[in-house]
Amino acid sequence: MAASERYVPAAGRRAFTRLYDPIVALTMREATFRGRLCAQVLDGLARGAPVVDVGCGTGTLAIALAAGGAEVVAVDGDPEVLSLARAKAGADAVQWRMGTATALPLTGSSADRVVMSLLLHHLGADAKRAALAEAVRVLRPGGRLHVADWGRPRDPLMRGAAWALQRIDGAQGLSEHLDGRLPGLLADTGLSAVALHARLRTGWGSLELLSARRT
């Protein structure tokens, strides 16, 4: 991440870090969206195949993927949030690493799947594209990127929820998402077979689950 890019913790603001899990559980249909995302990542994946969870936050998804048979490397730039993740049941099955989305501490072509869940909207335009380029670098040819992040709100209720999210998370990284440009960003990075798997209504707006393939 560039020196001028402000680091944003998992909950948007540092004071909310320890409230992140209960907030997500209460407002985001967590069991539904994480369950669907986990199933999509594991679909067709051989047991023990490498998966990288970028911006892993408190580790809920990384631990679920490991329980599903993947060899998971979970990366986050926040030592406090990694400490919370390591304390969870099942955390011993995950390799936890400090690092940022724009400079992953991983070798090229080393992962069958890369996951970015509720990460990209925290990044400004340049950092977002750098993070996607890093995902492409780390993926093996034929590997898939899976993204869960905000999309364009399609009714007044979702627009109101997205407005509230902007007040908390800030508008810098959200604008491209709320304009519906995320699928195009994946394609512009050189990924192919960009697909929208689900669009879920949540307390903070419309959450989209997408995937794309490295050719």
Q: Which residue has the tokens 């959450």?
A: 207
Half-sphere exposure of 66 (CA within 13 A, CB side): 21
The band of 194, judged by pLDDT with boundaries at 50, 70 and 90, is very high
Confidence at residue 171, expressed as pLDDT on a 0 to 100 scale:
62
149-187: b or e for each residue (b if 16 or more CB lie within 10 Å)? bbbbbeeeebeebbeebbeebbebbbebbbeeebbebbe
CATH 3.30.70.20 is right for the domain spanning 14-213: no
The band of 200, judged by pLDDT with boundaries at 50, 70 and 90, is very high
Domain locations in the chain as residue ranges: 14-213
Confidence at residue 6, expressed as pLDDT on a 0 to 100 scale:
45
Average the pLDDT over 181-202 and give the result.
96
Average pLDDT, the chain: 90
Going by C-alpha positions, the residue among 68, 37, 24, 60 that lies closest to residue 197 is 37
Confidence at residue 134, expressed as pLDDT on a 0 to 100 scale:
98
Confidence at residue 169, expressed as pLDDT on a 0 to 100 scale:
73
Residue 112 pLDDT > 70, yes or no?
yes
**Percent of the chain topping pLDDT 70:** 89
Radius of gyration of the chain (CA): 16
The predicted-structure confidence for 14-61, as pLDDT tens digits, reads as follows 445 667 667 777 777 788 999 999 999 999 999 999 999 999 999 999
The band of 3, judged by pLDDT with boundaries at 50, 70 and 90, is very low
Confidence at residue 11, expressed as pLDDT on a 0 to 100 scale:
45
Going by C-alpha positions, the residue among 134, 90, 85 that lies closest to residue 110 is 134
The predicted-structure confidence for 147-179, as pLDDT tens digits, reads as follows 999 999 999 999 999 998 888 776 678 999 999
The C-alpha atoms of residue 186 and residue 176 are separated, in whole angstroms, by 12
Q: Do 122 and 12 meet the contact criterion of CB atoms below 8 Å apart?
A: yes
Confidence at residue 1, expressed as pLDDT on a 0 to 100 scale:
39
Strands 71-76 and 111-117: unpaired
Confidence at residue 18, expressed as pLDDT on a 0 to 100 scale:
63
Q: Do 57 and 63 meet the contact criterion of CB atoms below 8 Å apart?
A: no
Going by C-alpha positions, the residue among 149, 139, 156, 146 that lies closest to residue 181 is 149
The C-alpha atoms of residue 213 and residue 144 are separated, in whole angstroms, by 4
Confidence at residue 165, expressed as pLDDT on a 0 to 100 scale:
87
The C-alpha atoms of residue 156 and residue 66 are separated, in whole angstroms, by 38
Average the pLDDT over 71-95 and give the result.
97
β-strand partners of 103: 100
